[in-house]
Amino acid sequence: MSAVCHNLSQFYYGPRVSMKISRHLKENVWTWKSGMAAQCFFPRMVGARFFNGMTTDPVVREEGDTPRVLITGSLGQLGTGLAKILRTKYGRDNIIMSDIIKAPKQIVESGPYIYADILDFKNLQEIIVTHHIDWLIHFSALLSAIGEHNVPLAMRVNIEGLHNVMELAKQYRLRIFVPSTIGAFGPDSPRNPTPDLCVQRPRTIYGVSKVHGELLGEYYQHKFGVDFRCLRFPGVISADTHPGGGTTDYAVQIFHDVIKQGKFQCYLRPNTRLPMMYIDDCLRSLIEVMEVPEEKLKLRTYNVAAISFTPEELVQALKKLIPEFHVSYHPDSRQDIADSWPEVFDDSNARNDWGWKPEYDIDRLCEVMVDKLQAKYPKK
């Protein structure tokens, strides 16, 4: 077996490195007995530690240095806004946006944008090495309602993609952020309030993949010392991107439809309470948790909250600004998903450990959404 591995390592690394790998295997025969032999067949497992025939470790960024940041799935709801803030804070060229589709002209002109397929390990590895990445912010995922319609694809993107970025974070000692969600909880979870630590057991592939991500990240932190950080976000509301099909996206769609058409059809019952957050609060919480010293983190996965409301309460708040519009309610399959999710998040640990505090309530949320979208959809 070791001869086979030696030959394979010659193919990938050349004879000098191959001899070093072979010696390493002979000194650690127990790994074969415990089923770890597969590591020698996958260069990604050992490549970070062997270079030019010498054992080496990735360069570790000192606290206070300007980080080099890769954002996967950056053309989604959160990535564009986050990149803008981080570029202001850390410099235009230090924030690398990435996705698998062609970016709009304004994105390309705003700073570095590259192709990155999270299912292609070698592609990601090359990006991290070439661009000297320190932080990896992993947004690539299929959301709740969309994932339910294509479970195999959701498993590939949400789970296999996560495995790739976690392994890279281990190899290159990256600080990694993976968002989680209210969808990581299920009908057996306490709903009001929902604490950080409780029974989860979600019933969507999106939620299952997010629980997997939380636990895998915590395992990598415990086992390998990976600096893993995760926030469970509520429904995120933004005027800058269109709704993406998620269960909480009614709270975005209503503003578009009311301003453009004077009416809105809601796919949830009027009394369905869910946690929500304006995007500025969401992005600020992400940046704060990425910047907080590691010793302050008593958990690796935190709830963050801002407001909780029902569709009916959002309608009443919006009518303070736009008195005349019509709303109808026609619950669909997303109602079942919403009924299994938290109504109110308990984020006391985030507030106590690293000082989290939201700034937007429901009235301020409505004001900023109406202002932005009325400018986008001027009256004819």
Residues marked active site are found at: 206
Give the β-pairing of 175-177 and 227-233. Answer: parallel
Quick one: DSSP state of residue 77? T
The size of the chain, in residues, is 380
End-to-end, the C-alpha distance of the chain in Å comes to 75
Beta bridge partners of 98: 114
Phi first, then psi: give them for residue 214, nearest 5 degrees: -60, -50
Helix axis angle for 205-224 and 161-172, nearest 10°, is 20
Beta bridge partners of 30: none
Quickly list H helices, 156-202. 161-172
HSE-CB at 250 with a 13 A cutoff on CA atoms is 31
The single-letter code of the amino acid at 312 is E
E strands, the chain, are: 50-51, 54-55, 69-72, 95-99, 113-115, 135-138, 175-177, 180-181, 227-233, 235-237, 263-266, 274-278, 301-303, 307-309, 326-329
Whether 159 and 212 have beta carbons less than 8 Å apart is answered as: yes
Q: Give the C-alpha separation, 348 to 351, whole Å.
A: 5
Per DSSP, the residues of 308-374 read EE-HHHHHHHHHTT----EEEE---THHHHHHTS-SSB--HHHHHHH-------HHHHHHHHHHHHH
Q: Give the C-alpha separation, 274 to 283, whole Å.
A: 19
Q: In the structure encoding, which two tokens stand for residue 320, read together?
A: 């303070």
Give the dihedral sign, CA 331/334/340/346: negative
Residue 373: name the closest of 257, 218, 263 by CA. Answer: 257
